[in-house]
Structure 1
Amino acid sequence: MTGSDSGRIGIVGAGITGAATAYFVSQDRSAADVVVFERNEDVGGRLQTATIGDRTFEIGGKYLHTDDPFCMGFVEEFDLNRADPLDVTGSDPPAMGRETTIGIWDGESFAVNLEDSLFSSVGHLLGSYPLSLYRLFQEGSALEEQLGELSEQIAAGESVRTVTELTEKWGMGDWCRRTAREQLTDAGIAEQCIEEVLAATTQTTLGQEPSIHAFGGLYGFLSMGASGGDPFAIEGGNATLVETLLDESAADVETETAVQTIERETDGYRIHHDDGTTAVDAAVLAAPYERTDLTFDGVDAPPERPYHTNHLSFVAGTLDTNYFGTESIPDLVAAADDPDVPFTLLASMGSVEGVPGTLYELETPTEPTKDLLSRLFTSYEVVASKSWQGFPRFDPGIDRPPFELADQLYYPNAIESLMTSMEFSALAGRNTATLISDANV
């Protein structure tokens, strides 16, 4: 690290990316003056929960994984309790560690119907896809190895200025230029395996089909448990991690303070916001530019990315077995890549105090119609719902914004052109703090 030990750093956005950036800047520069602007009342960004009856569920960034080096490092350093994402009010084993039946619905029948987790029944799937699942795991393992090297070197002080530099430097460029279908077909993986197993994992984790870039497809596969890491949430909600990082950074956090303009000045930037203006030596846009009303004065704005919209509904009721043609409906139903399937995920959340019947999580591309709900359920009540633009479209070959928009102006959210996850956000925060130090701000 070559930077000075002080300077004023302004960060726009108090989600996991902004909080991680503030924390790492404070670790590198003990005398730095860090101010974080957040337009909402609470910090956390897309890390949000919903309380229904006697349980509190993660509804934004649901899972961390025990093999995520940055986030697990935070959990251990700050002694945070791990919890079940299906109820973050207490410390319990992770939800996906329970015995859960999993099915892949192709619109007519369950292409796969397993009595345990998708990745513990390898023998069953290999019977359907000779060698294909083995090869899929090989591809996933290769990506996992590259990600391990990436995390280790970024943590040690390596830095990159663009997403393309990152993917090329750590051998992931081809995975970002090609679709998951193309990459995996060339790896000898059967089309049926791609359209059923891979599609189900990308639909469930990202809400997108295997025409996304191969990096996204394989990362979705890993995040469903193929890497072997255990998924979990943080007791009290994953936004607790953001609160902790901001507390540890000693940053001045200005909530309910929207930023209108970042203006370039002779020596640094001026941030125009609801409460006036703030002069800073370096400015950091940690929020997705596309989801702000922010303008830039004196520098170019980053290219905009199309965002994927997903609708999340919590539905209390009784499933209609006639829709699925069987009495044995799995606990978690993931959709195959078929436009005739009107949902991406249907998962039983079990019994909840004060809620009639069983509570289900239903994820759909648009708000579910009464007709769809009547087809899926014999009786139902929508008890909570939310529309998300949680992920950019992970299309191959798109114009990806850089991490460094101009001298002393940084955009760690550019990482979302590659992947959206708490772990990648933390990595981008570490990278940004290194860029700031290396620039001698």
Structure 2
Amino acid sequence: MLSRLLLSGFLILIPFSSELGNAGFVQLDGAPPSKIAVVGAGIGGSATAYFLRQHFGPEVRIDVFEKGTVGGRLATVTVNNQDYESGGSIIHSLNLHMQDFVKQLGLKYRKSVAGKMAVFNGEEIILEETDWYLLDLFRLWWRYGISFIRMQMWVEEIMEKFMRIYKYQAHGYAFSSVEELLNSLGGSGFLNMTRRSLSESLLELGVSQRFIDEVISPIMRVNYGQNISIPAFVGAVSLAGAQANLWAVEGGNKLVCSGLLKLAKANLIPAQVTAVSLQTAGESHQYRLGYSSQNEQVSEVYDIVVVATPLQQNVRSGISFQDFDPQFTEMPGSYHQTTASIVHGYLNCSYFGFPDPKLFPFSSILTTDTQGLFFNSVASVCPVNISAGFRRKPPQEAGVYKVFSPRPLEKPELKTLFRSYYSVQVTDWQAYPHYGSAQGLPPVVLHDNLYYLNGIEWAGSAMEMSSVAAKNIALLAYHRWSRQLEMIDQKDLMHKIKTEL
């Protein structure tokens, strides 16, 4: 039960449609675009290139700029000649875009390795998974009453509405803003959920404070590194996979990104984009991208540009927008720092109340929002390539662990969690938005034929969210270019689709 509730890693939960609809090429009075630029080669940018190719056809040139490594927040580190996920690590069984990508690329699902989870409050284990499903259910009921059922019904109702995106995208409909997308799915209720806290919404449903503190809070800490004050919609994204299986890609999730770029026949340009300048000729707009390549400043002109990297100040995208009126400013808000430490060593089971490591039954420990706790979770992790005879190392043997914490762990903290260790590899992520005070949802359309993908993360940050945003932007760019405005921001779409059928 808990293994379905308490999820380790950057989470990917909402189900989306992978249907492509009726893709076509621009054949109206205007010529098709000759060059399209995508800035960023994470899952959002690579999926955007893939969908743009499908909708604009084989002739358009698609350049994808990446200043770092393809994959972005999907990344691995190597320990003893084995690779481990240091970024986004798990995918929901109903993430149909991701499932379709894996199928198209001929990739394989990674073998899952069973393990139990528990919740630690800084002093003791307060909730633990057993080998008996019915016993776990009884314990949840005994400790929390029907709070679990109320939470589950709430999430299922939200997901039932959100799943309408399947049909909308399959029929080729697009949205010019995150607000329009959410409103078409769940009306004002979804928009309100981006403005009120998760704890407030759950308490209103009759979910107990104890359940929120001991079950919901640990999930938010491991998935978003934040507490239950995050918006209710983000919380629902996190909780949506409570009753579903999780999976990952054999060889590493980042293989999806490199594979999509190949399928898109995109030109990968390893360069830092430094400037986007508006070029106006009559009523038409183009964009000159300036970028640094091999210590030289280069620029090229594009008909359509998609920015698939965060533009918040603390992410330091390095992109300046020039010759726009009014002038662009950086997006409001900031990204939340999460540190992933991959530690090869011996877990200190005594810290969790098990002096004999042979009796320690858990593969993952999540934590409550307790003052003084310096980590969000610690979990025994498996390599991205799992052989037939692979087994998870028991605690009395040296294993590989992933620790999520709000900042890099200091030596005394490492010594608290581990009896001893051989190596520590630290990755500091600006992993997801910092869901603080309401700052609104960033725009999708920055200017005519200039789009911003990462605004979707402020509704919910996940691989599949970026993928559905990529599909939406590809549809939006195609319809706006070909002046098919009837396919954008349509009202009462469910009725329209039923009429079409």
TM-score in terms of structure 1 length: 0.90
Return the letter of the residue paired with 2:435. Answer: F
Aligned residues: 423
The reply on whether 1:178 has 2:192 as its aligned counterpart is no
Alpha-carbon offset, residue 356 of structure 1: 6.8
1:231-242 to 2 correspondence within 5 Å? Answer: 231-242=246-257
1:134–1:32 CA distance, 2 compared to 1 (3 A): same
* Corresponding residue of 2:279: 265
- 1:316–1:356 CA contact under 8 A, matched in 2: no
Identity, in percent, stands at 28
- 2:366–2:378 CA contact under 8 A, matched in 1: yes
Alpha-carbon offset, residue 118 of structure 1: 9.4
- 1:102–1:117 CA contact under 8 A, matched in 2: no
RMSD between superposed Cα atoms in Å: 2.3
* Corresponding residue of 1:244: 259
Return the letter of the residue paired with 1:149. Answer: R
Return the letter of the residue paired with 1:72. Answer: Q
Structure 1 residue corresponding to 2:127, chosen from 102, 112, 118: 112
Tell me, in whole angstroms, the C-alpha distance in 2 between the residues paired with 1:117 and 1:421. 31
CA offsets per residue over residues 277-303 of structure 1, 9 Å max, x none? Answer: 110111110111233111101332452
* Corresponding residue of 1:49: 76
Structure 1 residue corresponding to 2:426, chosen from 385, 398, 402: 385
* Corresponding residue of 1:309: 337
* Corresponding residue of 2:320: 295
- 2:24–2:55 CA contact under 8 A, matched in 1: no
| Bigger CA radius of gyration | 2
1:424–1:116 CA distance, 2 compared to 1 (3 A): farther
* Corresponding residue of 1:413: 454
CA offsets per residue over residues 180-221 of structure 1, 9 Å max, x none? Answer: 100000011000111111111111111111110011112112
Structure 2 residue corresponding to 1:168, chosen from 183, 187, 191: 183
1:177 is paired with a residue whose SS is: coil
Return the letter of the residue paired with 2:263. Answer: E
2:138 is paired with a residue whose SS is: helix
Mean Cα displacement is larger for which, 230-239 or 377-386? 377-386
1:423–1:73 CA distance, 2 compared to 1 (3 A): same
1:101–1:384 CA distance, 2 compared to 1 (3 A): same
Tell me, in whole angstroms, the C-alpha distance in 2 between the residues paired with 1:9 and 1:167. 27
- 1:400–1:414 CA contact under 8 A, matched in 2: yes
1:376–1:119 CA distance, 2 compared to 1 (3 A): farther
* Corresponding residue of 1:282: 304
- 1:119–1:226 CA contact under 8 A, matched in 2: no
Structure 2 residue corresponding to 1:336, chosen from 368, 374, 388: 368
The reply on whether 1:226 has 2:242 as its aligned counterpart is yes
CA offsets per residue over residues 128-158 of structure 1, 9 Å max, x none? Answer: 1111000111111122212311243134322
Alpha-carbon offset, residue 409 of structure 1: 0.6
- 2:24–2:56 CA contact under 8 A, matched in 1: no
Tell me, in whole angstroms, the C-alpha distance in 2 between the residues paired with 1:132 and 1:392. 28
1:101–1:236 CA distance, 2 compared to 1 (3 A): closer
2:62 is paired with a residue whose SS is: strand
Return the letter of the residue paired with 2:323. Answer: G
Tell me, in whole angstroms, the C-alpha distance in 2 between the residues paired with 1:283 and 1:198. 39
Return the letter of the residue paired with 1:297. Answer: Q
Return the letter of the residue paired with 1:368. Answer: L
Tell me, in whole angstroms, the C-alpha distance in 1 between the residues paired with 2:276 and 2:133. 47
Alpha-carbon offset, residue 304 of structure 1: 3.3
TM-score in terms of structure 2 length: 0.80
* Structure 1 segments of 4+ aligned residues over 4 angstroms from their partners: 116-120
* Corresponding residue of 2:465: 424
1:433–1:381 CA distance, 2 compared to 1 (3 A): same
Tell me, in whole angstroms, the C-alpha distance in 2 between the residues paired with 1:119 and 1:428. 39
- 1:3–1:440 CA contact under 8 A, matched in 2: no
Tell me, in whole angstroms, the C-alpha distance in 1 between the residues paired with 2:91 and 2:168. 21
* Corresponding residue of 2:389: none
Alpha-carbon offset, residue 54 of structure 1: 4.5
Tell me, in whole angstroms, the C-alpha distance in 2 between the residues paired with 1:365 and 1:421. 19
In the alignment, structure 2 segments of 5+ residues that lack a partner are 1-22, 383-391, 483-501
* Corresponding residue of 2:88: 61
- 2:275–2:319 CA contact under 8 A, matched in 1: yes
* Corresponding residue of 1:90: none
* Corresponding residue of 2:492: none
2:381 is paired with a residue whose SS is: strand
Alpha-carbon offset, residue 396 of structure 1: 5.8
Alpha-carbon offset, residue 3 of structure 1: 6.8
